[in-house]
Structure 1
Amino acid sequence: MAKSKKTETGTERPARGGGLFAYAPAPESPAAAGEIATGYGHFIGGEFVDSSGSEALKTVNPATEQVLAEFAQGTEEDVDRAVRAARRAFADWSALPGSERAKYLFRIARIVQERSRELAVLESIDNGKPIRETRDVDLPLVAAHFFYYAGWADKLDYAGYGPNPRPLGVAAQVIPWNFPLLMLAWKIAPALATGNTVVLKPAETTPLTALRFAEICRQAGLPKGVVNIVTGDGRTGAALTSHPDVNKVAFTGSTPVGRAIAKQLAGTRTKLSLELGGKAANIVFDDAPLDQAVEGIVNGIFFNQGHVCCAGSRLLVQESVQDELLDALKRRMGTLRVGDPLDKNTDVGAINSAAQLARITELAEAGEREGAERWAPDCELPGAGYWFRPTLFTGVSQAHRIAREEIFGPVLSVLTFRTPAEAVEKANNTPYGLSAGIWTEKGSRILWMANRLRAGVVWANTFNKFDPTSPFGGYKESGYGREGGRHGLEPYLNVEALDV
């Protein structure tokens, strides 16, 4: 293997291939992210303000372990200030005609597009995902969600939720670290379109793009208090979701935390939507286009380092094509480039945090202990940062932890089946129900399978395809409620006019 090379960000990226066809580094400049302050407060009432407490947290670049910035640990007092600011702004914001609210959302979408390179680089630095994903997937979808819900803002009477749908009031929103800016857009765009105001808490490992979005809100002239951002860890999130003056809680994250929030809000009038974990089955039949299926499998589990709730982390392959498919899959995995997220050639970036790397490592070791066969391509990993090779396990049974638990990393478990009925049984044998994929040339089989799979999203001959017009959400321990599409309006509306 060719010797690894230093990029301008200081991380090492192994050259792949050899001779004339070795990949040269193609780094994106970290300077494109703009100035990152040494410290950040909260964004409350249209202004950046200091925390009422003295505790500060640090966010690091997972590819280098270098500290990027400090940010405030939100207190109950900070959360209360933000909720009160959102409550004050609600009366005027909800009274605006939908066409006027739409103008602000359109303006935000255009600014996101104008600043997309800056935001993409900042996201990759703070999160660890490859720049080509933030640039080509995340940022276009962020803008698309604001454009889409801007279009709904003056058409709510025709959305199917009654002739006079009303906003709920103040929405408390807690987002995860795997798609920081995209999850922000999924939540803020429909909330604002329907006339609600927002208090959002970003994940403690990836706060920077949310804080940069606060600048965009000011640039767009959004009225003060309509969007408020309070940073901090789970303590801040708990204070926000339990605040007595919020009318809606939207949470994306782990199933245990979602379960705790549901218990906390049981018996209250606070509306709740949860988008939680997943353990999706990617099902390949013997008549599938195998080369296309291999690309779908790779995209399904190694996109964003496997940090995807709907990742195709269980591969169910029909026995007759198992060997052929796995040979092709291993060849394809051998071409994946792991390294510097700011290198435009990188396929798999850094794991988001040391804690997440430890979780992935522990579950992979459990797979080996329980008898599954582990395989990963031979590739150098940078000396600093949090890294994990793309990995697959064969000889996996449904009793193995790697087949049951969400790993949230670049680890694929391979199981086999003989009949469509067996595939359905194995696919549904999970506490989760977020997504699934079907690979076959038969349209009738796709429909037969889709009707029987207990999953909120079922992809056919593709995987991990998202569109703001299409609803997303799950069943069972994957949560409830839908985000995206017309369905994404409903969690922020009350046709019976809740008193606020």
Structure 2
Amino acid sequence: MDVTHDGWIRRAETLRFTGSHLIDGRAHDGGGAFTIVSPRNGHSLAEVADAGAAEVDLAVAAARRAFDDGPWPRLAPAERGRTLLRLADLIEERRVDLALTVSLEMGKPITDAHDIELRALIGTFRWYGQLADKLTDESPHTPPDTLALVTREPAGVVGAVVPWNFPLTLAGWKIAPALAAGCTVVLKPSENSPLSALLLARIADEAGLPPGVLNVVAGHGSVAGRALGLHPDVDVLAFTGSTAVGRHYLRYAADSNLKRVWLELGGKSPNIILPDAPDLEQAAATAAWGIFFNQGEMCTAPSRLLVHASVAERVTEAVVERARALRVGDPLDPATEMGALVGQDHLDRVLDHIHTAVDDGARLRTGGERVLAETGGVYLRPTVFDHVDSRSALAREEVFGPVLSVLTFEDLDEAVALANATHYGLAAGLWTSDLSTAHQVSRALRAGTVWVNCYEEGDLTVPFGGMKQSGNGRDKSAHALEKYTELKTTWIQL
């Protein structure tokens, strides 16, 4: 594979996208259709089947048959694990095409799509494939004339709804543990990025998943997502997306069968830099990387940089300098550091946040404007504000774009108070050389993940999820299986 800019463009021109749903192991074109437009250049990529309630019914019925009567839940866990490992190998073989599909449909730089997103997806299926036969049940100590068994059994049909910012990584975080547990799945990808998920479904079929075990329906959240949330034959609903939409899924569960709903929602993550940070330049560089990586379209993005007043000017200048030097451009250019935002509507929302911040008195240090409009693509210059009021919309609302707000503090108590002054609680960062401070502040921060002297680090051994209005439950690690299993107690009188 020629990994130059021209080489990626030539390979992209050979792609032929599949826009059909995959239901019960077969392509299905029911429902209407909608067009996927690439934010890279505004060109149409494909026509995709648009699922309505009827298509969701078919997919859920297939998943229900596969769970109630099919072999998947009844396979030895080791056999399920071997299938997931075969799937990981096939994804590796199709890595280039999957990465290109992600890059074209949502604007992610091809290097990030290939080296980060696909690495995460492959690693996820391998990790859960290896874990599948290593879970244990319990036999508590009971009186000698009894035997108690506590078994963990697959929960049933899982509805998974995932967003466009990491369309394959987040799908993998839900699909892999659900399948390892013995569940069957109906996946609804975002209407902005269904092509990669539909390709993944075909690869899963090649790996030997029985029909109906993994079904993928493309469609809009207000129709297909709603139908999945309300469906009485869905036992578990796993959703990643905005807090506003997460509320809908809780209502759908209440209005239907009280299905369990697991939510990974928005964030307004603080990144606290103390004067004793081990390396202030590294802290500033990581702060800039964190907010501009993936075009800032991340729920964990460190969008609030909280800096001690004594080092605020130095750190802010370093972040602004890096923002101005960042290369924004064609996602298929390996030299690109920040690609296109997902679409025009999203760009308009981000620009609205920027205009509101200016009106609220924040100082725009760099960026704040659309660039490369002549390409037909959707690009925004990396943006940094300082002099941000902690009560302002910019300091409180999730922008979900490459927009950083810098706030200052005088002491540690103020830093913690500012960090926790949000409805969200997904992630946080802290930079300090003091071990006691690291422990004390980490405990005080109301966030599901706290990174100390780093950001966005970790692997599949650790859980991921939020507190407060950032959601519940955990993706990644063995803890993810808790979402897709039920505990059963069997008490035997001997």
TM bracket, shorter-chain basis: over 0.9
SS at match of 2:219: coil
2:283 maps to a residue whose letter is A
Structure 1 position 496, deviation (Å): 2.5
Structure 2: gaps (5+ residues): 141-148
Inter-partner Cα distance in structure 2 for 1:297 and 1:150: 34
> In 2, distance between residues paired with 1:188 and 1:242?
20
SS in 2 for 1:40: coil
After TM superposition, the structure 1 stretch with the greater mean CA deviation from structure 2, 273-282 or 331-340, is 331-340
- Select between 426-435 and 374-383 the one with higher mean Cα deviation: 374-383
Secondary structure of the equivalent of 1:368? Answer: helix
**Counterpart in 2 of 1:107?**
86
- 2:15–2:97 Cα contact (<8 Å) kept: no
Q: Which moved more, 1:465-474 or 1:480-489?
A: 465-474
Contact 1:159 1:486 in 2 (8 A): no
1:407 is paired with a residue whose SS is: coil
Measure, in 2, the Cα distance between the counterparts of 1:300 and 1:420.
22
Change (3 A) 1:444 1:158: farther
Partners of 1:107 and 1:35 lie apart in 2 by 26
Q: SS in structure 2 opposite 1:249?
A: strand
Conservation of the 8 A alpha-carbon contact between 2:138 and 2:151: no
CA–CA distance in structure 2, aligned partners of residues 98 and 370 of structure 1? 57
SS across alignment from 1:334: helix
1:486 corresponds in structure 2 to: 478
1:42 equivalent to 2:34? Answer: no
Per the alignment, residue 177 of structure 2 pairs with: 190
Specify whether residues 142 and 430 from structure 1 end up closer, same or farther in structure 2 by C-alpha distance, changes over 3 A only.
same
Q: Does 1:373 align with 2:363?
A: yes
In the alignment, is the contact (CA less than 8 A) between 2:324 and 2:382 conserved in 1? no
Offset from partner CA, 1:428-452 (integer Å, 9 cap, x none): 0000000000011122211111000
Alignment of 1:337-416 (within 5 A): 337-376=327-366, 381-383=372-374, 384-416=376-408
**2:125 maps to 1:138:** no
Tell me the number of residue pairs that the alignment of Structure 1 and Structure 2 aligns. 473
**Aligned-pair RMSD on alpha carbons?**
2.0
Runs of 5+ consecutive residues of structure 1 not aligned to the other structure: 1-7, 9-24
Is 1:69 aligned with 2:46?
Answer: yes
Q: SS at the partner of 1:424? A: helix
For 1:30 and 1:406, how far apart are their aligned partners in 2? 34
1:267-313 Cα deviation digits (max 9, x unpaired): 74411100000000010001111111022102210000000001000
Q: Which residue of 1 aligns with 2:313?
A: 323
**Aligned ranges 1:89-488 → 2 under 5 Å:** 89-90=66-67, 91=69, 92-157=71-136, 163-234=150-221, 235-266=223-254, 268-288=257-277, 289-376=279-366, 381-383=372-374, 384-488=376-480
Aligned mates of 1:497, 1:264 — CA distance in 2: 29
Question: For residues 360 and 161 of structure 2, what CA distance do their matches in structure 1 show?
Answer: 36
* Change over 3 Å in CA distance of 1:320–1:160 after alignment to 2: farther
Which SS does the other structure have where 2:199 is aligned? helix
CA shift for structure 1 position 159: 9.5
In structure 2, how many angstroms separate the alpha carbons of the residues matched to 1:37 and 1:160? 53
Judge conservation of contact 1:105–1:146 (CA < 8 Å) in 2: yes
Cα distance in structure 2, aligned partners of 1:84 and 1:248: 15
Farther-moved stretch of structure 1 (154-163 vs 284-293): 154-163
Q: Is the Cα contact below 8 Å between 1:33 and 1:117 reproduced in 2?
A: no
Secondary structure of the structure 2 residue equivalent to 1:451? helix
CA deviation after TM superposition for structure 1 residue 120, in Å: 1.0
* Distance in 2 of aligned mates of 1:34 and 1:165: 47
Deviation of 1:27 after TM superposition, in Å, equals 4.4
Moved more, 160-169 or 394-403: 160-169
* CA distance in structure 1 between the aligned counterparts of 2:429 and 2:12, rounded to whole angstroms: 35
CA distance in structure 1 between the aligned counterparts of 2:307 and 2:136, rounded to whole angstroms = 46
TM-score under structure 1 length normalisation: 0.91
Please state how far the C-alpha of 1:35 moved relative to its aligned partner: 5.0
List per-residue Cα deviations over 1:458-482 (Å, max 9, x = no partner): 0011111241221000011101110
CA distance in 2, matches of 1:41, 1:35: 19
Q: Answer whether contact 2:283 2:453 (CA < 8 A) is retained.
A: yes
CA contact (8 A) 1:181 1:209 kept: yes
Deviation for aligned residue 1:26: 3.8
**CA–CA distance in 2 between the matches of 1:296 and 1:47?**
45
Q: Secondary structure at the match of 1:274?
A: strand
After superposition, the C-alpha distances for 1:179-231 in whole angstroms (9 at most, x for unaligned) are 00111101100000000000000000101100110111122121111000001
Seen in structure 2, the aligned counterparts of structure 1 residues 60 and 407 have a Cα distance that, compared at 3 Å, is: same
Between stretches 109-118 and 94-103, larger displacement belongs to: 109-118
In structure 1, give the amino acid aligned to 2:160.
Answer: Q
> Helix, strand or coil for the counterpart of 1:57?
strand
Name the SS for the 1:266 alignment partner: helix
Deviation at 1:39, TM superposition (A): 6.1
Take 1:114 and 1:291, find their aligned partners in 2: how far apart are those partners?
39
Measured in 2, the distance between the counterparts of 1:32 and 1:441 equals 47
Distance between the aligned counterparts of 2:138 and 2:388, measured in 1?
A: 45
* Identity among equivalent pairs (%): 44
Partner Cα separation in structure 2 for residue 35 and residue 75 of structure 1: 31
Measured in 2, the distance between the counterparts of 1:237 and 1:443 equals 45
2:372 alignment partner AA: L
